[in-house]
């Protein structure tokens, strides 16, 4: 255990070093882009490195002293005197304007949590519900989606969706402690049980209070930000999993998101009762405003609310197959529009480098950069040539990431056609605005391509290119990406398809996966 802890401390220290280096590279990239596009030297960055809250947050110190830290921590665990260092509470903005709080634990404490999670999870993986997909190392979002899709109703399809009120924040600590003390539910050593208990009741503070030594103690919720939170939250829902296994035709749980499918209204009511009973036992609360409840998935109306489909994990399930929810469509368009504004309009209010764009011959390096950024977002770093080689010649794609990779299971690409059309329209309108600003403020001009020229890449005069391989000036297409992803799925299954991680899922649930 001590050796595993030392190795994990070193690994997390390297990861922290890489994160700091990556942030510095991103900052420098933005400075270079600003100077290139505006012809103006950027000012002093407002993002200054903040001092470490304690030396246990310092990756250099932790890496140098990994053996000592592992030895001290494990000694405390053996004496049952271990307690995590106070965590820093961080507020993350949510789409609805509220904030979600997570905890940043010190490197040694995070390392201990990771080691304990791996050991306890592998020992108990068969004892927990197979319908819980967020915590299994060999399962992911795709497995949950495919599992739901496999359910074939006998007649009508009933879907039951219940949302808990701030699930991870509101699980009572007494209930979590009760679960980890239950030997019939989970197999833990006394020392592992001690570690879990100390994380449940850990201390924390906001940054401004941390240096003053003013700490509060956690009494509700899981230690979000620590990997042990995953197993604790899974334990908290185990009773619900057991009840739904007996009541539902098919149910899937990913973290706190649950969907149960059944064949009739009576069965759907029984499923709702399972949630109510679980809340009474656990102290959890159902979010009635956000819970869809019972619905019939059918094209025609009936006595109960009837919907054409239900949304889950970034997909929409309908009787005709899988498609993209409207919420995801809006988020994709929003992100694309932000990219377009940043590349083509935003910097013009500061300055303009006349070497960046011109007409006769037509070129615009900012538009080209925007297209490449959009392609990276939609294709996950793949080039148009990669897609064409796979679709036409059968050459295997080097990887499957990005938006097209996640939606390889989609049956109906009609939403992708709508997004493609809106992307072209947004780009064309942005170029009109760009030309207006250039003409009035800088007495300059840039190409003003049509939708067709953007879609084909004909807007760029390649005679102005002085590099090696000619650039791909064609605007990316989600329909083309989907065609490649779909073919990859039918040819190779989900091999090499990268699903979003656990944090990615949390964002997906709030509409921010992409």
Please tell me the distance from the alpha carbon of residue 146 to that of residue 493, in angstroms, as a whole number.
12
Q: Are strands 321-323 and 315-318 parallel, antiparallel or unpaired?
A: antiparallel
pLDDT tens for the chain, 514 residues long, are: 899 999 999 999 999 999 989 988 888 888 888 888 888 888 777 666 678 889 999 999 999 999 999 999 999 999 999 999 999 999 888 777 778 888 999 999 999 999 999 999 989 988 888 888 887 888 888 999 999 988 888 778 899 998 888 888 889 999 999 999 999 999 999 999 999 999 999 999 998 899 888 999 998 988 988 999 988 988 999 999 999 988 878 899 988 889 999 988 899 999 999 999 999 999 888 888 888 888 888 765 555 567 888 999 999 998 888 999 999 999 999 999 999 999 999 999 999 999 999 999 999 999 999 999 999 999 998 999 999 999 988 888 888 888 999 999 999 999 999 999 999 999 999 999 999 999 999 999 999 999 999 999 999 999 999 878 899 999 999 999 999 999 999 998 887 787 765 444 333 333 344 3
Please tell me the distance from the alpha carbon of residue 493 to that of residue 486, in angstroms, as a whole number.
9
Q: What is the 3-state secondary structure (H, E, C) of 256-275?
A: CEEEEEECCHHHHHHHHHHH
The per-residue DSSP string of 331-348 comes to HHHHHHHHHHHHHHTGGG
The pLDDT assigned to 94 comes to 75
Q: Is 231 helix (H, G, I), strand (E, B) or coil?
A: helix
Q: What is the 3-state secondary structure (H, E, C) of 232-258?
A: HHHHHCHHHHHHHHHHCCEEEEECCEE
The pLDDT assigned to 46 comes to 66
User: Is the backbone of residue 483 left (phi > 0), alpha (psi -120 to 50) or beta?
Assistant: alpha
Please tell me the distance from the alpha carbon of residue 479 to that of residue 313, in angstroms, as a whole number.
21
Q: Is 139 helix (H, G, I), strand (E, B) or coil?
A: coil
Please tell me the distance from the alpha carbon of residue 242 to that of residue 119, in angstroms, as a whole number.
24
Number of Cβ within 10 Å of residue 449's Cβ equals 23
Sheet holding 216-217, edge to edge: 99-104, 87-93, 203-205, 216-217
Kindly state the helix (H) or strand (E) to which residue 426 belongs, with its residue range.
Answer: helix 414-437
On the CB side of 266, CA atoms within 13 Å amount to 0
The pLDDT assigned to 303 comes to 53
Please tell me the distance from the alpha carbon of residue 399 to that of residue 346, in angstroms, as a whole number.
33
Please tell me the distance from the alpha carbon of residue 242 to that of residue 128, in angstroms, as a whole number.
9
Angle at 341 between CA 338 and CA 344, to 5 degrees: 145
Please tell me the distance from the alpha carbon of residue 175 to that of residue 221, in angstroms, as a whole number.
10
Kindly state the helix (H) or strand (E) to which residue 385 belongs, with its residue range.
Answer: helix 384-393
**Under a CB-based contact definition with an 8 Å cutoff, are residues 387 and 379 in contact?**
yes
Global pTM? 0.85
The pLDDT assigned to 177 comes to 94
**Under a CB-based contact definition with an 8 Å cutoff, are residues 170 and 164 in contact?**
yes
Rg of the chain (C-alpha set): 26
User: Is the backbone of residue 60 left (phi > 0), alpha (psi -120 to 50) or beta?
Assistant: alpha
The pLDDT assigned to 509 comes to 38
- Name the DSSP letter for residue 174: H
């Amino acid at each position: 255990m001590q050796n595993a802890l030392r190795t994990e401390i070193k690994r997390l220290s390297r990861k922290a070093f890489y994160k700091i280096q990556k942030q510095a590279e991103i900052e420098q990239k933005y400075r270079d882009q600003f100077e290139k596009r505006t012809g103006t030297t950027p000012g002093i960055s407002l993002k200054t490195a903040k001092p470490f809250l304690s030396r246990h947050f310092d990756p250099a110190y932790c890496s140098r002293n990994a053996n000592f830290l592992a030895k001290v921590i494990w000694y405390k665990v053996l004496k049952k005197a271990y307690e995590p260092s106070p965590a820093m509470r961080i507020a993350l903005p949510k789409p609805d304007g509220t904030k979600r709080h997570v905890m940043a634990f010190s490197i040694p404490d995070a390392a201990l949590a990771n080691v304990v999670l791996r050991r306890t999870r592998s020992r108990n993986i068969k004892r927990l519900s197979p319908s819980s997909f967020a915590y299994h190392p060999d399962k992911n979002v795709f497995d949950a989606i495919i599992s739901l899709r496999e359910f074939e109703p006998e007649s009508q399809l009933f879907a039951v969706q219940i949302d808990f009120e701030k699930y991870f924040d509101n699980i009572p600590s007494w209930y979590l402690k009760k679960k980890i003390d239950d030997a019939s539910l989970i197999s833990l050593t006394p020392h592992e049980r001690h570690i879990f208990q100390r994380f449940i009741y850990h201390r924390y503070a906001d940054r401004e209070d941390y240096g003053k030594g003013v700490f509060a103690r956690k009494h509700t919720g899981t230690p979000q930000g620590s990997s042990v939170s995953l197993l604790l939250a899974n334990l908290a829902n185990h009773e619900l999993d057991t009840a739904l296994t007996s009541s539902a035709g098919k149910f899937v749980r990913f973290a706190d998101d649950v969907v149960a499918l059944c064949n009739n209204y009576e069965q759907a009511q029984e499923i709702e009762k399972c949630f109510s009973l679980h809340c009474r036992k656990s102290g959890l609360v159902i979010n009635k405003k956000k819970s869809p409840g019972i619905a019939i998935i059918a094209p025609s109306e009936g006595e109960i609310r009837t919907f054409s489909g239900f949304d889950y994990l970034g997909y929409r399930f309908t009787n005709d197959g899988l498609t993209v929810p409207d919420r995801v469509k809006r988020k994709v368009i929003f992100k694309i529009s932000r990219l377009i504004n940043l590349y083509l309009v935003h910097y013009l209010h500061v300055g303009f480098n006349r070497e960046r764009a011109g007409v006769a011959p037509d070129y615009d390096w900012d538009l080209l950069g925007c297209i490449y950024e959009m392609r990276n977002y939609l294709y996950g770093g793949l080039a148009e040539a990669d897609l064409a080689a796979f679709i036409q010649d059968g050459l295997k794609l080097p990887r499957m990431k990005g938006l097209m990779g996640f939606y390889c299971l989609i049956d109906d690409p009609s939403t992708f056609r709508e997004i493609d059309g809106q992307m072209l329209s947004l780009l064309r309108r942005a170029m009109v605005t760009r030309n207006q600003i250039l003409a009035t403020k800088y007495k300059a001009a840039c190409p003003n391509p049509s939708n067709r020229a953007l879609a084909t890449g004909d807007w760029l005069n390649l005679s102005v290119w002085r590099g090696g391989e000619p650039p791909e000036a064609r605007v990316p297409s989600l329909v083309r990406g989907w065609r490649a992803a779909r073919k990859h799925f039918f040819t190779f299954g989900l091999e090499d398809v990268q699903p979003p991680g656990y944090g990615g899922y949390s964002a997906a649930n709030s509409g921010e996966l992409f």
